[in-house]
Amino acid sequence: MKVNHLLPVLPLAGLTLGCNHHHDDKKWTAEELAELEAKWGFDWAFGGIGTFAHLNHVKCLTEPTEPYDIAIIGAPFDTAVTYRPGARFGPRSIRHASGRQHSLRGYNPRADINPYQNWAKIVDCGDIPITPIDNDIAQKQMTQALEQLGMRRTVSSISSMPKLFTLGGDHSLTLPALRALKKVYGDREIQVLHFDGTLCLPKYACFLLTRNTTAHLDTWNPHAYPSYWGTTPFNHGSMFWLANQEGLLSNSSSHPSVHAGLRTRLTGIQDNEDDTAQNWIRFSADDIDKIGTQGIIDGIMKILGTENLVYLSVDIDVLDPAFAPGTGTPEPGGWSTREFINILRGIEGLNLVGADVVEVSPVYQGAGEETTFAAAQVVYEILTSMVKRGLQDLGRSDKASKDEL
Convert the pLDDT of each residue in 56-100 to its tens digit: 999 999 999 999 999 999 999 998 887 899 999 999 999 999 999
CA–CA gap between residue 329 and residue 321 (Å, rounded): 10
Q: Which residues are annotated as a binding site for Mn(2+)?
A: 171, 196, 216, 218, 315, 317
Q: What pLDDT was estimated at residue 264?
A: 80
Q: Write down the pTM of the prediction.
A: 0.86
What distance lies between CA 397 and its chain's CA centroid?
A: 28
Convert the pLDDT of each residue in 361-400 to its tens digit: 999 999 999 999 999 999 999 999 999 999 998 876 554 4
Q: Which residues are annotated as a binding site?
A: 171, 196, 216, 218, 315, 317
Q: Are 319 and 341 in contact (CB under 8 A)?
A: no
264: closest CA among 208, 191, 338? Answer: 208
- Provide the angle, in degrees to the nearest 10, between the axes of the packed helices 370-404 and 337-346: 10
Residue 312 DSSP SS3: strand
Q: Are 340 and 193 in contact (CB under 8 A)?
A: no
Domain ranges for the chain, please list them. 55-214+222-399
Spatial neighbors of 256 by CB under 8 A, at least 6 apart, are 191, 250, 279, 280, 281, 303
Reported confidence tier of residue 231, pLDDT bands at 50, 70, 90: low
Q: What are the two backbone dihedrals, phi and then psi, of residue 295, each rounded to the nearest 5 degrees? A: -65, -40
* Assigned CATH for 55-214+222-399: 3.40.800.10
